[in-house]
Amino acid sequence: MAADERRLDAIHLRDLHLRCIIGIFEDERRNLQDVLINITLHADLATAGRTDRIEDTVDYKAIKKRVVALVEASRFFLLEALAERIARTCLEDPRVERVAVTVDKPGALRFARSVAVAIERERG
């Protein structure tokens, strides 16, 4: 049965506040920008629910560490590219079958609290 044909559970990593080089303008290429990242990892968590063993679930701490390292070292022009790379990083974990990523850039536009890009990607 394909991932989209069965019900998957979700792990939410909420409000990762990070700083990176992101943007197309000269000052954005020189100065770190704030980003706010939200990630939903979709996986089958039934075994972990029954066994209560870390070995049977997604290691979301390890994923968070990889995402933080990626973002803090990144120099993307577009939020879309940053979100795509975050999604690919999450899908490196074989238990994650689908991921939703939202990257907000607070203060990116005058009169707007934030601009955000949201994407969903799945294994395969």
Return the residue matching tokens 């704030």: 34
The tally of domains found in the chain comes to: 1
Whether pTM exceeds 0.85? yes
58-106 pLDDT, tens per residue?
999 999 999 999 999 999 999 999 999 999 999 999 999 999 999 999 9
112 Cβ neighbours under 8 A, 6+ residues apart:
none
At residue 109, φ and ψ (nearest 5 deg) are -125, 140
11 and 40 in contact (C-beta within 8 Å)?
Answer: yes
Q: What CATH number is given to the structural domain containing 44?
A: 3.30.1130.10
Task: Indicate the pLDDT class of residue 7, thresholds 50, 70 and 90.
Answer: confident
List, by residue number, the catalytic residues.
105
16-45 pLDDT, tens per residue?
999 999 999 999 999 999 999 999 999 999
Average pLDDT, the chain: 94
| Full domain range(s) for residue 71 | 3-122
Identity of the amino acid at 41: L
Q: What is the distance of C-alpha 44 from the center of its chain? A: 18
